[in-house]
Amino acid sequence: MTTQAETIARRATTHRWCPDADTRDSIVARRNALAGLWAGRLMQLPDDQLTLYAAEVHASGTVDGSEAILQKLWYDLNRAGVPMSRTDIGAKMGELHRDAIGQLSATD
């Protein structure tokens, strides 16, 4: 049987803020927004739609993950007449991931 102090200590450690996870999530969120801007520019979206599209890509990544982002970008680009392979999009996402790391580390 656990004591009240053990229960409180366990709760404190399980609900603790984790800077590594927060940083990782921030990098992925930034990468997704950058990917949305990149793809939107390739599709020649006007500025007002470009911002909305980047937010849409960012939001879909927070729910469905990186593979869903890659699929969305591939589908949207090809539907807009910008032929792009999944491999090329994946490579660009890697580049944007590195850019996001650099941008976020510059703010520290």
Q: Quick one: pLDDT at residue 13?
A: 47
In a domain, 1, yes or no: no
Q: Can you tell me the distance from the alpha carbon of 73 to that of 30, in angstroms, rounded to the nearest whole number?
A: 16
Q: How many domains does the chain have?
A: 1
Residue in this structure with the two tokens 């590195």, named with its chain if needed:
98
User: pLDDT for 76-87, tens place per residue?
Assistant: 999 999 999 999
User: pLDDT for 17-59, tens place per residue?
Assistant: 444 555 788 899 999 999 999 999 999 999 999 999 999 998 8
Q: Quick one: pLDDT at residue 11?
A: 52
Structural domain including 47 reads 19-106
Q: Can you tell me the distance from the alpha carbon of 35 to that of 89, in angstroms, rounded to the nearest whole number?
A: 9
Q: What is the pTM of this model?
A: 0.75
Q: What angle do helix axes 66-79 and 19-42 make, rounded to 10 degrees?
A: 10
Q: Stretch 79-107: mean pLDDT, rounded?
A: 93
Q: Can you tell me the distance from the alpha carbon of 35 to that of 72, in angstroms, rounded to the nearest whole number?
A: 11
Residue 6: left (phi > 0), alpha (psi -120 to 50), or beta? alpha
Q: What is the CATH number of the domain that holds 70?
A: 1.10.790
In a domain, 14, yes or no: no
